[in-house]
Amino acid sequence: MKSVRETIAAVVAGQTGYEDGLDLLAVAPATEVDPVLTAALFDATARLWRGGWQPAELHRVVTRRGSGVQPLLIADAVAAYLRGFAPKSVDARWRAQATELDARPWWGDDADYLRETVAHRRVDRVTLIDAMLSLLALLATLPPIEMLVPPPGQATPARRAPGTDAKLERVRALLAKAEATTFPAEAEAYTAKAQELISRHSLDEALLSADSETVIPYARRIGVDHPYENEKASLLTSVARANRCHVVWSPEFGFATVFGFDADIDAVDLLHTSLLVQAHRAMARTEPPGGKAGRSRLKTFRQSFLVGYAVRIGERLAEASRVALEQTGDTSALLPVLASRDLRVREARDRSFPQTVRGRGFRVGNLEGWESGREAADEARLH
């Protein structure tokens, strides 16, 4: 007869039928099952943390593919992993994601985790064993990904150009005003001002760091939520392109990897988040009524709206960037620097994704949605 450890491994590897394995674990003594199943879960997630995954990314994938209590189990696995590291050795970005997930070791001994979770999460024992076993099977399918944030124990000093945080706070304040106002023209003015500020800061930094070998391009993964994730990713691409970044969209994981210099990626992240808020608000104002009969039309309207919005926003941001460049005066020294930076960003992207293929364009299935999206983009605040 197989041990609990062997049963779990066989189910995860597909060598034993899932239902058969679940039945065996459900009737085996809790003293044998609980510590082994908990250790298997924490070990599986530890492998992924060491393999480049960040808490928010793994939580998003499990939320998309899993069900029930499983996203909460990921938060607990984050807390369990952090226990083994001094706070100073944990990167601030990793720690911030753990805080966002409310990841804290609320249970006592790991051997009692399963039993305590039954009471804490208000699930029955067999349901929890089922959730943990199927989660292990899901985690086993996830490959290592590029290490963009050092895992706990390997924190490095934060990279920040002088004055960057203050400029980002000004951009955040402008975008918050854009999201808060109910007047489209006012929102447009705030968002445009934010892009202008972003562009000026980016150009200043490019000139200042032109001869620096320590200023290099990096990458950041930005989550894109469903529904309509492909269309939302197109908005991210439009924003990134206008801010001299390059994007690789990974729909199977629900995130896009943005390559660029730190200040530019910060700008992309902020603008994309704000413009999504503005897009959803504008879409809610203009979309046709739903209902059973209009559900299909509503879906194509929303898809077309977001595509039209993304295309027009890209045009407006590109124009704002062009104007900011012209306002610098003599561009003879700046243009070669920008070309060199773009080459370095593309090289970084190609090293990470050597087999990337260009995505197909979107088919617009609803003209009303397309036109409404472009109109909303004209009204969106860029500063």
Q: pLDDT digit string (tens) for 310-327?
A: 988 888 888 888 888 888
- The contacts of residue 294 (CB under 8 Å, 6+ apart) are 288
Q: For 197-206, what is the mean pLDDT?
A: 74
Per-residue confidence (pLDDT) for residue 7, from 0 to 100: 97
Longest dimension (CA), the chain: 79
- The contacts of residue 287 (CB under 8 Å, 6+ apart) are 298, 301, 302, 305, 369, 372
Cβ atoms < 10 Å from Cβ of 92: 10
CA distances from 334 to 210, 237, 241 (A): 9, 24, 18
Q: Note the Cα 188 to chain centre separation in Å.
A: 25
Q: pLDDT digit string (tens) for 38-72?
A: 999 999 999 999 999 999 999 999 999 999 999 99
Per-residue confidence (pLDDT) for residue 383, from 0 to 100: 53
Global pTM reads 0.79
Region of 50 (left: φ > 0; alpha: ψ -120 to 50; beta: rest) is alpha
Nearest to 309 by CA among 228, 200, 204, 218: 228
Residue 176 has pLDDT above 80, yes or no: yes
Q: pLDDT digit string (tens) for 14-28?
A: 999 999 999 999 999
Question: How far is Cα 187 from Cα 189, in angstroms, rounded to an integer?
Answer: 5
Dihedral angle, C-alpha 26, 29, 32, 33, nearest 10 °: 20
Region of 299 (left: φ > 0; alpha: ψ -120 to 50; beta: rest) is alpha
Q: pLDDT digit string (tens) for 344-372?
A: 999 999 998 887 666 555 555 555 665 66
Which tokens in the block code for residue 183? 């007047």
Residue 293 has pLDDT above 50, yes or no: no
Q: pLDDT digit string (tens) for 228-256?
A: 999 999 999 999 999 999 999 999 999 99
User: Could you give the 3-state DSSP secondary structure of residue 86?
Assistant: coil
Which tokens in the block code for residue 382? 């860029």
